[in-house]
Structure 1
Amino acid sequence: MAALLWRPVGRYGLRGRLGPQLCIRHAVPLGTSAKEDMERYRNKSAGLNRPISPHVTIHSWSLPMAMSISHRATGIALSAGVSLFGLSALLLPGTFESHLELVKALCLGPVLIHSAKFALAFPFMFHTWNGIQHLMWDLGRGLTTPQVTRSAVAVLVLSVLSSAGLAAL
Structure 2
Amino acid sequence: MFNLIIYYKMLSIPLRGLFKPKYAFEGFNMKLGMVRMMSGSCGCSPDKGTSQGDGGSKSKYQITYKPYKIPEYKPHDKKNMDLNRPMSPHVFIYAPTEPAMTSIVERITGMILTFYALVLSCGTLFLSNGVETYVSIIQSLDMSRPMIFLIKLSLGAPFAFHYFNGIRFCLWNACKMLSMKEVTDSAKKVYIGTAVLSVLFALF
Mean CA deviation greater in 68-77 or 140-149 = 140-149
Match of 1:8 in 2: none
- The answer (yes or no) to whether the contact 2:123–2:130 under 8 Å persists in 1 is no
Alpha-carbon distance in 2 for matches of 1:89, 1:164: 27
1:78 aligned to 2:113?
yes
The one-letter code sitting in structure 1 at the alignment partner of 2:144 is G
- Structure 1 or 2: larger strand share? 2
Equivalent residue for 2:132, pick from 74, 79, 97:
97
Alpha-carbon distance in 2 for matches of 1:129, 1:67: 11
Match of 1:23 in 2: none
Match of 1:137 in 2: 172
The one-letter code sitting in structure 2 at the alignment partner of 1:162 is L
Q: Which runs of 5+ in 2 are unaligned?
A: 1-12, 18-25, 30-70
Match of 1:9 in 2: none
Relative to the length of structure 2, the TM-score reads 0.57
Q: Deviations over 1:73-127 (max 9, x none)?
A: 1111111221122112222221333222211210011111111111111100100
1:159 aligned to 2:194?
yes
Alpha-carbon distance in 1 for matches of 2:145, 2:115: 27
Match of 1:67 in 2: 102
Residue 54 of structure 1 aligns to a residue in which SS? coil
The one-letter code sitting in structure 2 at the alignment partner of 1:98 is T
- The answer (yes or no) to whether the contact 2:106–2:165 under 8 Å persists in 1 is yes
Alpha-carbon distance in 2 for matches of 1:147, 1:59: 23
Regions of 4+ moved over 3 Å: 27-30, 37-40, 54-59
Match of 1:7 in 2: none
Alpha-carbon distance in 2 for matches of 1:56, 1:121: 30
The answer to which structure, 1 or 2, has the higher relative contact order (CA under 8 A, 6+ apart) is 1
* RMSD, aligned CA: 3.3
Mean CA deviation greater in 53-62 or 139-148 = 53-62
- Structure 1 or 2: larger helix share? 1
Alpha-carbon distance in 2 for matches of 1:54, 1:89: 47
Residue 77 of structure 1 aligns to a residue in which SS? helix
Match of 2:151 in 1: 116
Match of 1:24 in 2: none
Deviation at 1:55, TM superposition (A): 4.0
Mean CA deviation greater in 118-127 or 80-89 = 80-89
Alpha-carbon distance in 2 for matches of 1:58, 1:142: 28
The one-letter code sitting in structure 2 at the alignment partner of 1:63 is E
- The answer (yes or no) to whether the contact 2:172–2:178 under 8 Å persists in 1 is yes
Alpha-carbon distance in 1 for matches of 2:188, 2:105: 13
